[in-house]
Amino acid sequence: MKTLLEIADILKSKNCIYILTHQYPDGDTLGSAYALCRALQLIEKKCKVLCHDPIPSKFCFMNEYVKQEDFDPEYIISTDVADIKLLGEKLLIYSDKINMCIDHHMSNNSYADITFVDAMSAATAEIIYEIIQNMGMPIDEETASCLYVGISTDTGCFKYSNTTAKTHKIAYELINKNINLAKINSELFEKKSKEALSVEYMVYNTLEYFFRGKCAVIKLMQSMLNSAGISDNELEGIASIPRQIDGVKIGITIREKKSNLFKISVRTTEDINAIEICKIFGGGGHPRTGGCNIEGEFEEVKEKLLKTVKNKCGW
Amino acid sequence: MKTLLEIADILKSKNCIYILTHQYPDGDTLGSAYALCRALQLIEKKCKVLCHDPIPSKFCFMNEYVKQEDFDPEYIISTDVADIKLLGEKLLIYSDKINMCIDHHMSNNSYADITFVDAMSAATAEIIYEIIQNMGMPIDEETASCLYVGISTDTGCFKYSNTTAKTHKIAYELINKNINLAKINSELFEKKSKEALSVEYMVYNTLEYFFRGKCAVIKLMQSMLNSAGISDNELEGIASIPRQIDGVKIGITIREKKSNLFKISVRTTEDINAIEICKIFGGGGHPRTGGCNIEGEFEEVKEKLLKTVKNKCGW
């Protein structure tokens, strides 16, 4: 694998760069892409961010930190995209043209010409921070804000087990760039719409326990979203609900994406590897947080998951 | 006010020290007291922590970090106690004997011989960290764990508006002392008992909006706790529920302590001072989070609060 300095040098030598995020974008894929885009634009590179989906409203402020002009790409980078399929349909035209992938997913399957993966980083944004530093460039307030979005969202605001001393050290350095910390935190972690609250309420009602309370499953259906008048990507915290409960070692969230297609989030405690469960269904992720897609009816999907859990955990 | 170094020197010159926390103890009053107690015991001082209430179970691990022996006090310190009344009945025997108070509440009313208040600190534990450093002592893993408990709980795990760059810098330094970060975070911020979950559910059901959605009020009654089989101090997150909601500028939590006595938590957004509302009822706190006690029937207490909100905000 190349060093951070080599990655930085390559980036400095390129121009007309597209930066691709994963579909259903979260704070890390977006924060990483926008931070890198702004840093490259600050040294007069043509650069733009592309995403298959609309940007969730709480992340839209980052749009203002970059110029999004039209040009043909000479170099294509993906940030926080562990598998080429995760780009989403609209970006699949670039699938065999990715020159560089910067990621922190252990399950990354090296689809790019150059892959830089550091699975010890709590967020891809931590790596982007180090790359920008290795480029010898100052980090301005806007770049720092984007990086903070990536780092804070992927660590659940510094509470998940991927958080390290380094995470806090970088946060300290970013906050010192004068970012509006209170406002960003309030937007990302405090604000909840009445609609989101009512969906959470419905989801709590679907909570089921299995294997004597060691596994908890919640369900989020499109009909719930419709009745509350809210879209799926405004509901990031949902997947952390089931594992929170005392005694639960595996928390599973089954979200209906469309008829007969479910997106699964698996959150585990220390002794269980979420990747092992998700890869059975072609997914991946991190040891404590994994994801995959499964086709079928809800009950069928749930049974498949529970069978896999039973096998993997010997319950 | 004395400097941190002067405070450190005074502490080094004393022995047989009691450290008092406030009643209904939270992570900061306890983490500060235990950290200071351990630091003083490491230099062979007799020292103990006293609290009016039982220690909530998630904080009990700190008990093992200090020796709690019997002795008569020669010097009495309070940590994170803004007002002498907050010691609670059992500790009121010391109320005119407090030699030193270390606190971060702007509303502190200087009841001790020596008061050190730094309202810019996110937590009293930040101040204790600096005092221990000024004492020229190394901070061991156990002391660091207690300080981390104080800092992380008082900032809602680094998400509240009191969080600063310094907060993250101290967190970085504490985590480098090898504390079990993942375990502490999981205990403090992730784990939720089935009982707590069911009370939260009941509380959500009491949510009322006033002043066209700018004020939200929730109610927590003893009967809810009894029906779920849980005690009040296992439910710390409750008070942050109402202000989270989009558009809410004042979130009020009315908790029944006993018949006709309610403990009020007021959380506000930037433009409203929680202290201004709470001090009408003899309470205090921080600009964004205040508290007070009010006697009366629930509806009467609620009306008093809403009237005060109306007056103070001109709504």
Chain mean pLDDT for chain B:
94
Interface probe for A, chosen from B164, B177, B181 (most Cβ of A below 10 Å), is B181
- For residues A156 and A282, the answer to whether their CB atoms sit within 8 Å is no
Cβ contact A168–B163 (<8 Å): no
Residue B309 has what pLDDT? 96
Q: Same CATH topology for B4-189 and B194-313?
A: no
Q: Where are the domains of chain B?
A: 4-189, 194-313
What confidence category does residue A227 fall into, taking pLDDT thresholds of 50, 70 and 90?
very high
Q: Which pLDDT value is given to residue A238?
A: 87
Per-residue pLDDT, averaged over A72-93, amounts to 96
Using a CB–CB cut-off of 8 Å, the residues of A that contact B are 152, 157-161, 163-166, 168-169, 171-172, 175-176, 181-182, 185-186, 189-194, 197, 201, 204, 240, 243-246, 269-270
Both tokens assigned to B310: 């109306």
User: Which of A176, A182, A201 faces B204 most closely, judged by CB atoms?
Assistant: A201
Q: State pTM to two decimals.
A: 0.87
For residue B163, the chain A residues in CB contact (below 8 A) are 181-182, 185
Low-confidence ranges of chain B (pLDDT < 70): 236
Q: What is the ipTM of this complex?
A: 0.86
pLDDT in tens, A3-22: 999 999 999 999 999 999 99
List the structure tokens of A50: 């592309």
Superfamily, domain A4-189: inorganic pyrophosphatase (n-terminal core) (3.90.1640.10)
- Which residues of B make CB contacts under 8 Å with A? 157-161, 163-166, 168-169, 171-172, 175-176, 181-182, 185-186, 189-194, 197, 201, 204, 240, 243-246, 269-270
Do B175 and A185 make contact, defined as CB atoms within 8 angstroms? no
pLDDT of residue A196: 87
Best residue in B157, B164, B177, B183 for a mutation probing chain A (most A CBs within 10 Å)? B157
What average pLDDT does the segment A213-221 reach?
A: 96
Residue A125 has pLDDT above 90, yes or no: yes
Question: Can you tell me the mean pLDDT for A220-249?
Answer: 87
Distance set, CA B76 to CA A88, B15, B17, B33, B49 (Å):
63, 10, 6, 12, 10
| Mean of pLDDT values over A251-272 | 94
Q: Hey, is A235 helix, strand or coil?
A: coil
Residue A299, pLDDT score? 96
For A185, which residue in chain B has the nearest alpha carbon? B159
Confidence at residue A191, expressed as pLDDT on a 0 to 100 scale: 81
How far does B249 lie from chain A, in Å, by closest CA?
A: 11
- On whether the CB atoms of residues A189 and A161 are closer than 8 A, the answer is no
Residue B109's pLDDT is what? 93
What average pLDDT does the structure give for chain A?
Answer: 94
Q: What is the CATH number of domain B194-313?
A: 3.10.310.30
Task: Please tell me the total number of residues recorded for chain A in this structure.
Answer: 315
Measured CA to CA in angstroms, residue B56 lies from A47, B53, B219, B255 at distances of 53, 9, 21, 17
Is B291 in contact with B305 (CB distance < 8 Å)?
Answer: no
Over the stretch A176-206, which tens digit does the pLDDT of each residue have? 999 999 999 988 988 888 888 889 888 988 9
